[in-house]
Structure formats: C-alpha cells, structure tokens
Amino acid sequence: MANISDKDLTNIARKIKLLILDVDGVLTDGGIILDGRGNEFKSFHVRDGHGIKMLLKQGIVVALITGRQSKVVERRARELGITDVFQKCFKKSIAYGRLAEKYSLTDEEIAYAGDDIVDIPVLKKCGLPIAVADADESVKPFVKLITEKKGGRGAVREVCDFILKAKGMWGKIIDEYTEN
C-alpha cells in the first residue's frame, strides 16, 4: 500500500465521480457455486448494495467490470440501478477507457476496487486504486486504500461510505434517515 496520509487520501476521494467495481472477490466473496443444471449462484452483501444505492443517489456513477459472464451479475446490477456493466471483459483497461470517455472523466475522478492481478492495469491508471482486505498480495502495492473488510463482506460499503464522507455528503445522508 502506498504511504499516504489520511488527509491526502480524503482529498483524493473528494474528486471521485465514478466508482468501478470488480465483481468476484470484491462485490462477492469470490465463491462461485455451480449446480448440475448449469445454474450459477453468488452471494452479495446487502450493505454493499445499500452503499452503492447511496452513491448513485448522490450522483456518483457506479460501474461493474468482470471477467466472467453471469446472469446473476446482470440481475444484481439491475436491482441496484447500475447501468454500466462489462462482463466477459478480459482487458479491463479497455472498459475503463470507455467509461472515462462516456462520462468525460479524468483518471483522478475514477476509483477502482479490485482483488487480483487482472485488476492491476486499471489500479495503476485510476485516481483512487482500492484493494479489498483479502485481495491477492500482489495487488496491494498498487493501491492507495485497502479496506478493513473482505470482498463480499462489506468492503464495498466501506468504500462507498469513505467516498461519501470525503465528499461531505455523509451528514446529509444521515439526516435523511433520521428525519421524522
């Protein structure tokens, strides 16, 4: 992990307009269950989903990039309101470039959360590179933030909360939930 102060990390996060997430190992715990009928099952953490919805409500775009193809991912993205989903994407930097162009964003305005070596090219490019706590050790030297929680176990919510707090949006969100 880069040697970076909390203040510098907060200043970096304040600029974020797009959060890109890997799926397996970040949005899920990395486990894939396949049955004998060709069905695929993945487990998603409900608080991760709520964090994503809070980001989207505040105008921060969320996108998914994954190397696998899965109807489960399509469904979860639809449930959360994520419209930018790149599946069976073996060169994640190409999808990253398309997203940056679509939203007219600089690298400094993009955060990416990953967990494995296939994520390194994007982690090296984006403004806020993030690894989940249980990411492969080879990924961690390329990030500025490592979550305390593991992939699929609240790591995405941790990232969402951090971005919202850095941007000064957290108080407004809490107020919305605590109003009578």
94-126 pLDDT per residue, tens: 999 999 999 999 999 999 999 999 999 999 999
pLDDT of the residue at 3: 66
pLDDT of the residue at 180: 60
In-domain check, residue 65:
yes
Query: Strand locations in 45-153, DSSP E?
Result: 61-65, 84-86, 110-114, 128-131, 145-146
4-26 pLDDT per residue, tens: 888 999 999 999 999 999 999 99
In-domain check, residue 94:
yes
Backbone dihedral region for residue 154 (phi beyond 0: left; psi -120 to 50: alpha; all else: beta):
left
In-domain check, residue 18:
yes
Q: Is the pLDDT at 1 greater than 50, yes or no?
A: no
In-domain check, residue 1:
no
In-domain check, residue 59:
yes
48-84 pLDDT per residue, tens: 999 999 999 999 999 999 999 999 999 999 999 999 9
In-domain check, residue 146:
yes
CA dist 168 → 58, 74, 129, 162, 163 (Å):
11, 31, 20, 10, 9
Check which CATH number belongs to the domain holding 71 and give it.
Answer: 3.40.50.1000
Q: Where in the sequence is the domain holding 140, given as residue range(s)?
A: 6-178
Chain-centroid distance of CA 58 in Å reads: 16
Q: How many independent structural domains does the chain possess?
A: 1
